[in-house]
Amino acid sequence: MLTHRPLAALAAMITVATVGAVALSGCSTTVPQTFTGTPVVNPHTRVAVIGDSIESGLGLMPGEAWPDLLAVDRRWGLDNLSVAGAGFVATGTNGGTFDTQVDAAIADKAQLVLIGASDNDLGQDVDTVSAAMTAAIDRIHTALPHARIIAYDALSGSASDDELAPLDAALQAAATAEGGVWIDLGEPYRDQDGLVQADGEHPTAAGQQAIAAVALTDLDTLVQSRAAAAATPHV
């Protein structure tokens, strides 16, 4: 397991200025590290996750979804708002889109918001989805001006990179336009033995661990990049 780094350190290092896309490691056929432990909830480090069935851990036990694994490792006070079937336009099992989750994140006064593109929006008009993304990010930024927004690519075991690319590009543009950070998690569980459930779409517990491992690496990279930039003397 990676060394715990309190959210305060992350928040201090990540500025609202745009940070470029982070280089990722490729897919691995090995079973990823196991994340264990008990979340240490700190009311001063509130993190909200806006997502779909991948983030909610559909088909798994509570606490096995990758945002929950990050919360254990980083000792976050997590509000995982993710709902199966939901997207920026697509309606989830709770009858709402990501707008419902945005409302909850704002009500929770989240200090860090993780928000991803969703393959549930495939088949929708891209311009309509893009407009919904822009509106969602703008609402978060307006209501929570000091919150850090980290957006990431759609995770899917069945949709191709080409299919997801327009959604990912639209969310990246919306997030970075408001000073958010973009990270590309790739598809670390897709087509990997033991990492995909029988439905071919959702990650197993080991698949969720694979996503969490990439996300942790990306967050550390962001922190290190900011530290290096701060240490560089200006001529």
User: Token pair for residue 167?
Assistant: 């959604």
Q: pTM of the full predicted structure?
A: 0.80
pLDDT in tens, 24-45: 233 333 344 444 444 444 444 7
Cα–Cα nearest to 148, from 118, 115, 173, 120: 115
**Pair 175, 181: CB distance under 8 Å:** yes
Q: Is the pLDDT of residue 137 over 70?
A: yes
Cα–Cα nearest to 56, from 92, 91, 30: 92
* Whole-number pLDDT of residue 221: 86
Q: Give how far Cα 109 sits from Cα of 45, 77, 118, 173, 230, Å.
A: 10, 12, 23, 24, 28
Geometric angle at alpha carbon 54, from 51 and 60, rounded to 5°: 130
Q: Torsion over CA of 186, 176, 77 and 35, rounded to 10 degrees?
A: 20
**Pair 169, 140: CB distance under 8 Å:** no
* Whole-number pLDDT of residue 230: 63
Which is it for the CA torsion 193, 198, 202, 205, positive or negative? negative
pLDDT in tens, 149-168: 999 999 999 999 999 999 99
Q: Domains in the chain and their CATH numbers?
A: 24-230 (3.40.50.1110)
* Whole-number pLDDT of residue 225: 75
The residue among 160 and 14 whose pLDDT is bigger is 160
